[in-house]
């Protein structure tokens, strides 16, 4: 179970890094917000889901 939580945390860190880089670039590019709005919201939803799943999985470790 510990390995599963470590993998979830690794995925969360990698995904967070991708979001930290991609969201400001998208917002700074002219006209990109309208094209990428759904992708950014989907990424934020996936990130929130990963945070919740990681927290729930971590609660089973004693």
How confident is the model over 17-37, as pLDDT tens digits? 999 999 999 889 888 888 889
pLDDT band for 9, please (50, 70, 90 cuts): very high
Residues 6+ apart with CB under 8 A from 15: 43, 46, 47, 50
The pLDDT assigned to 62 comes to: 66
Rounded average pLDDT over 45-59: 96
Number of domains composing the chain:
1
Instruction: Please give the model's pTM, rounded to 2 decimal places.
Output: 0.86
Q: What is the largest CA-CA distance in the chain?
A: 49
Angle ∠(42,21,46) on CA atoms, nearest 5? 20
Within a domain: residue 26?
no
Q: Which two tokens stand for residue 33?
A: 């917000």
In which domain, by residue range, is 14 found?
2-21+31-59
Q: Which two tokens stand for residue 18?
A: 């991708």
Within a domain: residue 42?
yes
């Amino acid at each position: 179970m510990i390995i599963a939580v470590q993998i979830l945390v690794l995925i969360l860190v990698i995904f967070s890094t991708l979001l930290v880089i991609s969201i400001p670039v998208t917002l700074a590019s002219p006209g990109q917000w309208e094209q990428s709005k759904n992708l950014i919201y989907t990424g934020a939803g996936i990130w929130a889901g990963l945070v919740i799943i990681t927290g729930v999985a971590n609660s089973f470790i004693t």
